[in-house]
Amino acid sequence: MTAADAENGPDKENDPDRSDRDLQQRFAALVGQFSAEEALQLLNAIDAPQPDTILSELTEQRPSLRRPRLARPAMLRIRVDLDLDIDTSPDATVANSVKATSATQPTPHERQIWRRLDLRSDLTLDQVHQILQAAFAWQDTHLHRFALGGSPLSQGVEPFICEYDLEEGDAEGTPEASVHLDEALQQPGDRLFYVYDYGDHWQVTLRLERVVELSEAPGASTADAPAATCVDGRRAAPLENTRGLVTAGDPSAFAELAPDRFSVAEVNASIELLAARRLEHLGAAVQRLVRLAPASIAEETLHRAQIVDGLLRAHDGAAGAGAASTDDAQLDPPFAAAFAPIMAVLDLIGDDGAELTEAGRLRPHIVSAVAQLLPSCDGWPGSATREDSTPPVANLRALLQRLGLLYVRGGQLLLSRAGRQARTDAAVFVTALRARLGAETLDDPREFIRLLYLLHVAAEGREPEMRLIAAEMTAFGWRTASGGGVDESALYADVSSYVTLFANLGDVRETREKRLASRAEPVGHSRISPAAAALAAELLRG
């Protein structure tokens, strides 16, 4: 073998040093075609991280796992399993963290927690979520997610996200409310995955067992087939926030310390109550309030909400049937008439404002003029010339300032821009009330109190007994700093603005006269005006 043969032979291909030198020479020749600046730009481009772009491109190219809707609604029989990989049987003699002998370990079937549900195929996934909550006796206090293709929090699946994730923008996926059940489950064996509470990670698998067209089901029709029915199941689901207790084998993770307890009748009662909770015209805060109501007051809370929802539905139906169309920003004439006394007070303040005393109070002639306009001052003892001794006048002024319709500057009480608009447009009052005295969250006790108060007023047309609202607050779990129940005396300040408003609406005098003439109202249950009840319902609207 010659030197040339040795250089060009097979050993050359197997020589790593020689291969590295060849690559270096080729790279140098390639780079030599560029200027120093161009070479640096090329290296930076090669070195730049690309995973987000690549993943997004792959996501866009990935075909959806959803299927076209079924031609006709069907009833889907679905086995729903809570996927616990630990022993939760009540007769286990060892903790899950300790390896047990085969004699003490329950069979897989014994420790399964499952439900068998008949669900209509045209349910949306947000409705399925509510049914699953009822089936496992959970309270819907945590986030959740559905997915096709695997666990909802895994990569590579097709997620269907809840409203909160959608609003926060922290998660990508299709809104669950836009996806129907039959787009996920159509053939026996199809699976849909669900996770509830991202912390405890209760993972649930829905597996389709059978499809029955509604027209084939005995005695059923598309119109009257129930949305959901539980037909079978086994064992209680763990309570909220108990993953650690379940892992440790602690029976207190289950209601009444009864892991084996299960009742088809109880699940179906919860599902029926859920169906009744479809309150289309009420806001999200009211709907969540009803959904989370404890058993002791659930029926009363739901009943009030249903009444208010019906009133709003009837109002919308009547408005839709009217010949004249009105601007969305305007309210019905009865509302405009109801706000007339307060609008007259704003007119009295006028464009020039009202001069205040050195103590910052309204001057006597203004107090007297305002008192003559307000229904709450009817029969007020005394001269009604001092603001500090005429609470109805002082309270209304404080309310109008809180609503942003009046403000103080340079020793004068002046109309704001919204205040000037409110002199002729009653809708401004509703907008201001929602913005400054809204009840949009259940996390703030003041808003919680206002929500209950408005619900009582709108549903019953009476001044609520605050002791009842205090009892409801206590039932919902609110406590004083010392751990005691809510005292009614602590609630008046949070609803005082509504009390002032309702006492000064335009139909208060007529309502008062009718009540006195009838003498039918028991003490403590004074009937408020129809306009006040309608306004309370409007403030609860979704």
Q: Which two tokens stand for residue 509?
A: 């005098």
Q: Residue 498 and residue 225: Cα distance in Å, rounded?
A: 43
Q: What is the CATH number of the domain that holds 384?
A: 1.10.10
Domain coverage including residue 488: 282-339+426-542
Q: Residue 409 and residue 401: Cα distance in Å, rounded?
A: 12
Clarify whether residues 410 and 433 are in a common domain. Answer: no
Query: Do residues 198 and 188 lie in contact, with contact meaning Cβ atoms separated by under 8 Å?
Result: no
Q: Residue 532 and residue 339: Cα distance in Å, rounded?
A: 10
Contacts of 136 (CB under 8 A, 6+ apart): 82, 113, 115, 202, 204, 237
- 272-279's contacts with Cβ under 8 Å and 24+ in sequence apart are 273/134, 273/298, 273/302, 274/130, 274/131, 274/133, 274/134, 275/226, 275/227, 275/228, 276/302, 276/306, 277/302, 277/305, 279/305, 279/306, 279/309
- On whether residue 37 sits in a domain, the answer given is no
Q: For residue 124, give the DSSP letter.
A: B
Query: Do residues 222 and 73 lie in contact, with contact meaning Cβ atoms separated by under 8 Å?
Result: yes
Query: Do residues 370 and 354 lie in contact, with contact meaning Cβ atoms separated by under 8 Å?
Result: no
- Among 374, 396, 425, residue at a domain's last position: 425
- On whether residue 516 sits in a domain, the answer given is yes
- On whether residue 242 sits in a domain, the answer given is yes
Number of domains in the chain: 3
Give the tens place of pLDDT for each residue, 143-184.
999 999 999 999 999 999 998 888 787 788 999 988 999 999
Contacts of 502 (CB under 8 A, 6+ apart): 457, 508, 528, 529, 532, 535, 536
Query: Do residues 166 and 123 lie in contact, with contact meaning Cβ atoms separated by under 8 Å?
Result: no
Which one, of 393, 405, 396, lies nearest residue 364 by Cα? 393
Clarify whether residues 151 and 182 are in a common domain. Answer: yes
- Among 221, 251, 276, residue at a domain's last position: 276
Give the pLDDT score at 452: 95
Give the tens place of pLDDT for each residue, 280-339.
888 888 888 887 777 778 888 888 998 998 888 888 777 665 544 334 434 455 677 889
Question: Which amino acid makes up residue 92?
Answer: A
Q: Residue 361 and residue 368: Cα distance in Å, rounded?
A: 13
| C-alpha distances out from residue 88 to 80, 84, 132, Å | 17, 8, 20
- On whether residue 270 sits in a domain, the answer given is yes
- On whether residue 57 sits in a domain, the answer given is no
Query: pLDDT averaged over the chain?
Result: 81
344, exposed or middle or buried, with CB in 10 Å at 0-12, 13-18, 19+? middle
Clarify whether residues 369 and 309 are in a common domain. Answer: no
Q: Residue 494 and residue 497: Cα distance in Å, rounded?
A: 7
Orientation angle between helical segments 340-349 and 391-402, nearest 10 degrees: 80
- On whether residue 87 sits in a domain, the answer given is yes
- Among 276, 291, 309, residue at a domain's last position: 276
DSSP per residue, 173-211: SEEGGG-BGGGT--STT-EEEEEE-TTT-EEEEEEEEEE
Clarify whether residues 529 and 497 are in a common domain. Answer: yes
Clarify whether residues 248 and 383 are in a common domain. Answer: no
Clarify whether residues 444 and 534 are in a common domain. Answer: yes
Query: Do residues 132 and 196 lie in contact, with contact meaning Cβ atoms separated by under 8 Å?
Result: yes
Query: Do residues 362 and 374 lie in contact, with contact meaning Cβ atoms separated by under 8 Å?
Result: no
User: φ and ψ at 194, to 5 degrees?
Assistant: -140, 135
Query: Do residues 16 and 24 lie in contact, with contact meaning Cβ atoms separated by under 8 Å?
Result: no
Clarify whether residues 195 and 208 are in a common domain. Answer: yes
Clarify whether residues 161 and 123 are in a common domain. Answer: yes
Clarify whether residues 139 and 208 are in a common domain. Answer: yes
Query: How many other C-beta atoms can be found within 10 angstroms of the C-beta atom of residue 504?
Result: 24
Q: Residue 232 and residue 45: Cα distance in Å, rounded?
A: 60
Clarify whether residues 206 and 344 are in a common domain. Answer: no
Contacts of 28 (CB under 8 A, 6+ apart): none
289, exposed or middle or buried, with CB in 10 Å at 0-12, 13-18, 19+? buried
Regions of the chain with pLDDT less than 50: 1-8, 12-13, 51-59, 90-110, 220-221, 223, 323-331, 523-524
Which one, of 515, 517, 534, 535, lies nearest residue 525 by Cα? 515
- On whether residue 349 sits in a domain, the answer given is yes
Q: What is the CATH number of the domain that holds 207?
A: 3.10.290.30
Q: Which two tokens stand for residue 398?
A: 């404080």
User: φ and ψ at 159, to 5 degrees?
Assistant: -90, 150
Give the pLDDT score at 220: 46
Contacts of 175 (CB under 8 A, 6+ apart): 160, 161, 163, 166
Clarify whether residues 141 and 206 are in a common domain. Answer: yes
3-state secondary structure at position 382: coil
Clarify whether residues 442 and 295 are in a common domain. Answer: yes
- On whether residue 414 sits in a domain, the answer given is yes
Contacts of 425 (CB under 8 A, 6+ apart): 329, 330
Query: Do residues 493 and 537 lie in contact, with contact meaning Cβ atoms separated by under 8 Å?
Result: no
Q: For residue 356, give the DSSP letter.
A: B
